[in-house]
């Protein structure tokens, strides 16, 4: 959600921070602000709305030049998106500035305490109480890091905090609990951000911050301690993509670029996971083959698009391993008292690795003694660190809020896990595993073929720009694809869009069919026993006036008489069809949103990473 940037070094700190905030705009926000340490004091500027509003303010009233600064893009929780509620927040003396991501659950009690002691709070936010508490603690210890540790021990909830104090002009202090924060280490400069994208133009050396840790940033390095003041172990890692990967590269939108990058992303996710014998080798998983062979139940937890990937994974896991598999919305998981044990494997899917609902599900599962395997795109994020093992998707940075390449690479990672479980348990012979691997290895080429034929899909999307509703139908693995297609249209076009299991059509949804209603149908391969049933569904809805938009394999002639618009995708094995069938739906949603004049990369009310429950 909120974007945070901190800098100390020899460059113009304001320029570094503003540049970083621009790179974090994709996370979603409704106000922005900065604080600069200069000339023995603290100067701030903040405005509701987009970053351009802040830039205009800085153009009219420039801040003094300094080498230490913090910045923030806010997603409103406590208090609306106003200038007063924008971050940074100050203490009454204007010596401490704080930015914050997350929610401080006990802020009301803390605010009442501060008011009783004579503090005046100018905003409606939970964040402002931290600035006042830091000022109180600093007055006693004259050490901002120690003040931060003392304050954090009083706070309840999930939070990332970054603060500066006018009396320590070459220091930025950060703290995290269940909310993302990463350190960048440069030559004579240090960075702090909620995402490495903020500082990737300056350094690719990053440090993971663990749970309940405080970091002190100085020009010559960083110091990390726990909330208890004890030194913490520091692990540096190298970010394996550069600044150009987070740029649009000539595309109008990041989403268009990320759709086009899917063949490479799929190939990169497969890279290095197949050994010389043609067998799978997933060394990074870190859960032993012996432990995996004893698994008697798999539970997948995820949110949004990742949940749809998990629904598809269920079909592959059960088919290839014969292990029962459940797919759970992470937000509901721990509240229904799920049945877990030491032989349960919980697979947590999250692009960012910071999704709060999924993180809490991971903690609950581990508390029940289950093994947890993360499928994630972000090195050093919280969910992989708190899991027993991880399979990284290697999709590269995904900036657009609506997920595309992360979804396809999550599918590939799920297929690899399912195959590996089958390999370890002996439910898939070596030659069977190799056959699926060969099929997977062809997928980058097949996705590329789909992308080459998308102009009619774009034309179709433009023609439907002023429709009110679009329905999506699918069966087997086509059902989660239908759900994903509907979600993309909701996210981007702000349209009523619903996905249904085609077999349920006569149990209610067919009542929605009326003249001219666009219905997208994902048709299984003619080799599937469900093919003819779905063709019958198409006939049923067309007879009632629907405009049928049919996604079907090349060579499937049975659908031709019943398709008002036909979109062809390459023939693939049934379980792998989502890798090609989803792509036209992504293009469709993106083009339709563009035709409606919507903001494609940053749709309204949405954030890239949901880091609060």
Residue positions annotated with a catalytic role: 2, 608
CB-neighbour burial class of residue 385 (10 A; exposed 0-12, middle 13-18, buried 19+): middle
CA-nearest of 91, 85, 56, 57 to 72 is: 85
List Cα–Cα distances, 63 to 59, 60, 477, 533, in angstroms. Answer: 9, 10, 55, 67
If phi > 0 it is left, if psi is from -120 to 50 it is alpha, else beta; for residue 332 that is: alpha
DSSP assignment of 444-466, as one string? HHHHHHHHTT-HHHHHHHHHTTT
Distance CA 527, CA 327 (A): 27
Distance CA 59, CA 56 (A): 5
Q: What is the 3-state secondary structure (H, E, C) of 407-447?
A: HHHHHHHHHHHHHHHHHHHCCCCHHHHHHHHHHHHHHHHHH
Residue 234 CB neighbour total at 10 angstroms: 17
Distance CA 535, CA 522 (A): 10
Instruction: Count the alpha carbons within 13 Å of 336 in the hemisphere toward its beta carbon.
Output: 9
If phi > 0 it is left, if psi is from -120 to 50 it is alpha, else beta; for residue 517 that is: beta
Distance CA 440, CA 331 (A): 31
């Amino acid at each position: 959600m909120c974007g945070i940037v901190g800098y100390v070094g020899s460059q113009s700190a304001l320029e570094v921070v503003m540049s970083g905030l621009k790179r974090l705009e994709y996370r979603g926000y409704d106000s922005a602000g900065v604080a600069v340490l200069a000339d023995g004091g603290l100067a701030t500027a903040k405005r509701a709305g987009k970053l351009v509003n802040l830039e205009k303010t800085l153009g009219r009233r420039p801040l003094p030049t300094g080498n230490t600064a913090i910045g923030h893009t806010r997603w409103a929780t406590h208090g609306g998106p106003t200038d007063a509620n924008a971050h940074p927040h100050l203490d009454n003396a204007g010596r401490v500035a704080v930015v914050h991501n997350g929610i401080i659950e006990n802020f009301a009690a803390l605010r009442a305490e501060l008011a009783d002691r004579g503090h005046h709070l100018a905003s409606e936010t939970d964040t402002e109480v931290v600035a006042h508490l830091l000022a109180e603690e600093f007055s006693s210890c004259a050490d901002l890091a120690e003040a931060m540790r003392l304050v954090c021990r009083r706070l309840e909830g999930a939070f990332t905090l970054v603060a500066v104090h006018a009396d320590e002009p070459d220091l930025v202090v950060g703290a995290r609990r269940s909310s993302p924060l990463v350190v960048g280490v440069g030559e004579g400069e240090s960075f702090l951000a909620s995402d490495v994208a903020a500082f990737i133009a300056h350094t690719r050396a990053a440090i993971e911050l663990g749970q309940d840790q405080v970091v002190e940033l100085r020009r010559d390095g960083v110091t990390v301690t726990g909330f208890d003041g004890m030194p913490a172990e520091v692990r540096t890692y190298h970010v394996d993509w550069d600044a150009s990967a987070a740029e649009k590269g000539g595309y109008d939108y990041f989403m268009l670029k990320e759709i086009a990058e899917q063949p490479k992303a799929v190939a990169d996710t497969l890279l290095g996971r197949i050994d010389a014998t043609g067998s799978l080798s997933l060394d990074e998983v870190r859960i032993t083959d012996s432990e995996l062979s004893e698994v008697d139940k798999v539970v997948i937890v995820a949110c949004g698009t990742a949940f749809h990937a998990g629904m598809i994974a269920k079909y592959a896991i059960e088919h290839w391993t014969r292990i029962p598999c459940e797919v759970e919305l992470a937000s509901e998981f721990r509240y229904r008292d799920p049945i877990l044990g030491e032989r349960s494997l919980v697979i947590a899917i999250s692009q960012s690795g910071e999704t709060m609902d999924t993180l809490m599900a991971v903690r609950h599962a581990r508390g029940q003694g289950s093994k947890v395997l993360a499928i994630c795109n972000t090195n050093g994020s919280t969910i992989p660190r708190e899991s027993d093992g991880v399979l990284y998707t290697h999709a590269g940075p995904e900036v657009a809020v609506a997920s595309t390449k992360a979804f396809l690479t999550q599918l590939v990672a799920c297929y690899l896990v399912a195959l590996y479980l089958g390999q370890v348990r002996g439910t898939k012979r070596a030659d069977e595993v190799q056959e699926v691997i060969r099929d997977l290895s062809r997928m980058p080429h097949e996705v590329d073929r789909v992308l080459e034929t998308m102009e009619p899909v774009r034309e179709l999307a433009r023609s439907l720009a002023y429709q009110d509703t679009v329905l999506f139908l699918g069966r087997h693995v086509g059902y989660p694809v239908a759900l994903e297609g509907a979600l993309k249209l909701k996210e981007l076009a702000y349209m009523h869009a619903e996905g249904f299991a085609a077999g349920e059509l006569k149990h209610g949804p067919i009542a929605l069919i009326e003249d001219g209603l666009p219905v997208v149908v994902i048709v299984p391969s003619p080799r599937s026993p469900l093919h003819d049933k779905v063709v019958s569904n198409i006939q049923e809805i067309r007879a009632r006036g629907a405009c049928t938009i049919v996604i079907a394999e090349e060579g499937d002639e049975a659908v031709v008489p019943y398709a008002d618009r036909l979109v062809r995708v390459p023939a693939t094995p049934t379980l792998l069809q989502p890798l090609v069938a989803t792509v036209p739906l992504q293009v469709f949603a993106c083009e339709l949103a563009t035709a409606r004049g919507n903001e494609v990369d940053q749709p309204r009310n949405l954030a890239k990473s949901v880091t609060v429950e």
